Structure 1
Amino acid sequence: MKTIGMVLLSAMVIVGFDGPVCADSSAEGILKSVVKIRATIPKEAESAGTLGTERQGNGVVIDSEGTILTVGYLIREAESIEVTAQGVRSVGARVVGYDFGTGFGLIRAEKKLGVKPIALGKSSAVQTGDSILVAGHGGKDSVQVSRVISRQEFAGYWEYLLDEAIYTLPAFENFSGAALINADGRLVGIGSLFTQVLVPDWGLVGCNISIPIDLLGPIIDDLRKTGRSAKEQRPWLGINAAETQGRIFITKITSGSPAEKAGMKPGDIVLTVDGKEVGGLSDFYRKVWALGSAGVQVPLGILQGSKIRDIKVHSIDRHQRSLSKPKKEIKI
C-alpha cells in the first residue's frame, strides 16, 4: 500500500501545488472510495438558516457494508440523502450516526456501491510539513497535494473544539467531507472547514481544517449501534460565540436554548465561568465542560449592556436537543 501511495503522491506537481494528479490505476482505486453526497434538509430545520437546505460534499467508504464517513454538518437533519460513486448511478442513503463532539457523520448506502473501502491510517503520525493528498469525488481530476502547515487546536463558534486539527495549504475548493490521504494511501482526516491563516511574506492565505481520523476509533461502534457516542455528553448552552482580543462575545442565541432561558442575549460578553476568568474561546469551552456532563448548572459572569450579571445556565445534551422540534434562532 505504501508503494501505491508514494506513486500517487510523487505523480503530482508539488512545487506550486498546481495541477491535477496523474495517478496509476491502483491509486485510482483508492480514489474511488471517495463519493459524492447530496442531502436535502427541510426548510424548517434548525440548521437550514445557516447551512442551507441543499447540501453537497464528499464522503469516504470505510467498510464493505457501504458505511460512508463524512463531515456531520452535510447530513445534519437531512430528510433525504443521495450518494454517487464513480461509474455508479446515484443511490439513496440513510443517516447512521452524528457526533457533535468530533463533527463526524456516518451514512450508509441503501444499495451496494461496488467500491472498495479505504484503509484507515493514524492521524497522530501526521506532522507539520508533511505532503498530503486531499481528494474529493471525481477521481484523479478532483485531487490535489497540499502541505500540512499546522497541527493545533481549533475553536468553532458553535461550542466546538478540536485539540489537534489538521491545517492544510493550499485550500481545496470541494473541502466538505473530502479525504485526507497519507503517503501509505490511508485515510487520516476528513475535510471540514475553510479558513485563513497569516503566512509570513504572503499575508492572509486560505487553508482547510480537517478532523483527525484518530477521533473516530473510540466512537464508531457507538455510532453504528445507537447513532451517537456513548461517551459522557458535554453540557450545551445554545450559543454562538466569537473571540476578539481575548474577550468572548455572544453573537447568537438559539431559541428555546438553556442560554436564552437564563436570560443571555446577543452582544453579551462572557467574563467568567464558575468565578474563573476566561482567556479565549477554547478556554471558555474547556471551563464549561470541566464542570460536568450535560445537565450541570453553568455559573457565568457576563457583561450585558452596562451591567455585570451573574447567571446560572442549566445545560442540556445537545444530541437530545437535535431530536426536538426545530426552532428559529436569534441573531445579533
Structure 2
Amino acid sequence: MFDARGYAVTVSYLLLDAVAIEARGRDGRAVPARVVGIDFDTGLGVVKLEGAGPWPAAALGSSQGLAPGARTGTVGVDEDNDLVAVAGSVQAIQPFAAYWEYMLDRAVFVAPASPAWGGSALVNDRGEVVGIASLRLGEAPHVNLAIPVEKFTGVRDELLAAGRVVSRPPRPWLGLYTVEAHGAVVVSDFSPVGPAAGAGFRKGDRIVGVNGVSVGTQREFYEQLWARRAGDTIEVAVQRAGGVVVIAVRSMDRQRLFRAGE
C-alpha cells in the first residue's frame, strides 16, 4: 500500500487473469479490491481497496542507492499464504530481458527468494519501499527479480487517472515468445491472442532481423521492435530450414486486450 486512500502497487501478471482480487492486512482482514491501472512496459499494476480508509501506507523510497551486498527486506506472503518479513540482500543490479516481449534497463536481484513473493514489497534498511518483487529466477540457490520503485513513481499519477501510461506511445506488441540459445533469438511459442499467432511463425524459427536490421539477442530484437509504434507493420526475418523468410506482422497495442477498472 502506497496511499492511505487504499491504493496498492503490485506486479501486473497477478492481475491480468484474476477473477476476483482481495487484499489481506496484518489483522487478517480480507478486503475486496479492483484494478485501476496497468503498465505493461514495466510489469506493474495498481489496485484500489474497496471500503473506507484511511489505510496504512508504506513510504516509497528509491532503489538508486542500492548496490550488491546492500541489506533489504521482502514483505509479503510465503508459500502457506502467511504474512512474512524476510531479511535479505542485493545480489546484482543489471538489465533483464524476458521471453514475453519484456525488458527492464535496470532490475534488482535479491536473495533469499520465494515463488510466492510476486507483488511483495522490497524495502531498504529504513523501511522504505525500493522495489516490487516479481519472478523467482534461475536454479537453486534462486534469486528474486525486483522492479525498481522508480518505474512506478514516475507514472503513478497517470495510472491512477487514466488506467495506463499516456505520456509515452504504446509499444508495438507481436505476442512472440522467444529465448536466447546458441547465440540466436529463437521462437519458442506465441500468445494465442497476439498478432504473431496467425502470421506464419514456427517454433524453432531463428529471428535474424527486424525491419531490415540484424538482431542476435533479445535486447536487440526488442529495441528494433519498439523503435516503431503500435499498429505498425513489423517485418521479422527468420531463418529456418530452406533459408531466410521475412514475415510481415501488423503489431498492436497490448493494452487493448485489457481494460483496467472494467
TM-score (norm 1): 0.72
Task: Provide the residue aligned with 1:294 in structure 2.
Answer: 230
Confirm or deny that 1:183 pairs with 2:120. no
Structure 2 CA distance, aligned partners of 1:192 and 1:310?
35
Query: CA-to-partner distance for each residue in 1:215-271, whole Å, 9 max, x for gaps?
Result: 112221111112111121111011111111221111112235322343212221101
Q: 1:228 is matched by which residue type in structure 2? A: R
Q: 1:281 is matched by which residue type in structure 2? A: Q
Query: CA-to-partner distance for each residue in 1:184-219, whole Å, 9 max, x for gaps?
Result: 21000001001127xxxxxx5211000000011222
Task: Provide the residue aligned with 2:174 in structure 1.
Answer: 237
Structure 2 CA distance, aligned partners of 1:113 and 1:307?
62
Structure 1 CA distance, aligned partners of 2:83 and 2:5?
27
Task: Provide the residue aligned with 2:184 in structure 1.
Answer: 247
Task: Provide the residue aligned with 1:165 in structure 2.
Answer: 107
Confirm or deny that 1:89 pairs with 2:25. no
Question: Deviation of residue 305 (structure 1)?
Answer: 3.6
Confirm or deny that 1:213 pairs with 2:149. yes
Q: Which runs of 5+ in 1 are unaligned?
A: 1-60, 198-203, 324-332
Contact in 2 for aligned 1:96/1:107 (Cα 8 Å): yes
Contact in 2 for aligned 1:97/1:224 (Cα 8 Å): yes
Structure 2 CA distance, aligned partners of 1:97 and 1:252?
28
Q: 2:95 is matched by which residue type in structure 1? A: E
Closer/same/farther in 2, CA of residues 256 and 195 from structure 1, 3 Å limit: closer
Contact in 1 for aligned 2:75/2:120 (Cα 8 Å): yes
The CA RMSD over aligned residues, in Å, is: 1.9
User: SS of 1:136's equivalent?
Assistant: strand
Contact in 1 for aligned 2:4/2:53 (Cα 8 Å): no
User: SS of 2:142's equivalent?
Assistant: strand
* Counterparts of residues 120-131 of structure 1 (less than 5 Å): 120-131=60-71
Contact in 2 for aligned 1:144/1:172 (Cα 8 Å): no
Question: Deviation of residue 275 (structure 1)?
Answer: 2.1
Q: 2:201 is matched by which residue type in structure 1? A: M
Confirm or deny that 1:320 pairs with 2:253. no
Q: Which runs of 5+ in 2 are unaligned?
A: none
Task: Provide the residue aligned with 2:137 in structure 1.
Answer: 195
Structure 1 CA distance, aligned partners of 2:95 and 2:120?
20
Contact in 1 for aligned 2:115/2:135 (Cα 8 Å): no
2:199 to 241, 246, 262: 262
Q: 2:210 is matched by which residue type in structure 1? A: V
Task: Provide the residue aligned with 1:111 in structure 2.
Answer: 51
Contact in 1 for aligned 2:77/2:117 (Cα 8 Å): no
Closer/same/farther in 2, CA of residues 238 and 141 from structure 1, 3 Å limit: closer
Task: Provide the residue aligned with 1:80 in structure 2.
Answer: 20
Structure 2 CA distance, aligned partners of 1:102 and 1:141?
26
Structure 2 CA distance, aligned partners of 1:304 and 1:188?
44
Structure 1 CA distance, aligned partners of 2:83 and 2:29?
19
Confirm or deny that 1:226 pairs with 2:166. no
* Structure 1 consecutive aligned stretches of length 4 or more whose deviation exceeds 4 Å: none
Q: What is the number of residues matched between the two proteins?
A: 255
Structure 1 CA distance, aligned partners of 2:157 and 2:241?
47
Structure 1 CA distance, aligned partners of 2:115 and 2:194?
34
Confirm or deny that 1:154 pairs with 2:83. no
Structure of greater Rg? 1
Q: 2:50 is matched by which residue type in structure 1? A: E
Structure whose residues are more often helix by fraction? 1
Contact in 2 for aligned 1:294/1:317 (Cα 8 Å): yes
Closer/same/farther in 2, CA of residues 243 and 187 from structure 1, 3 Å limit: same
Structure 2 CA distance, aligned partners of 1:304 and 1:321?
31
Question: Deviation of residue 141 (structure 1)?
Answer: 6.6
Question: Deviation of residue 82 (structure 1)?
Answer: 1.4
2:243 to 307, 312, 329: 307
Contact in 2 for aligned 1:134/1:172 (Cα 8 Å): no
Query: CA-to-partner distance for each residue in 1:36-66, whole Å, 9 max, x for gaps?
Result: xxxxxxxxxxxxxxxxxxxxxxxxx100110
Q: 1:134 is matched by which residue type in structure 2? A: T
Q: 1:160 is matched by which residue type in structure 2? A: Y
Structure 2 CA distance, aligned partners of 1:114 and 1:150?
36
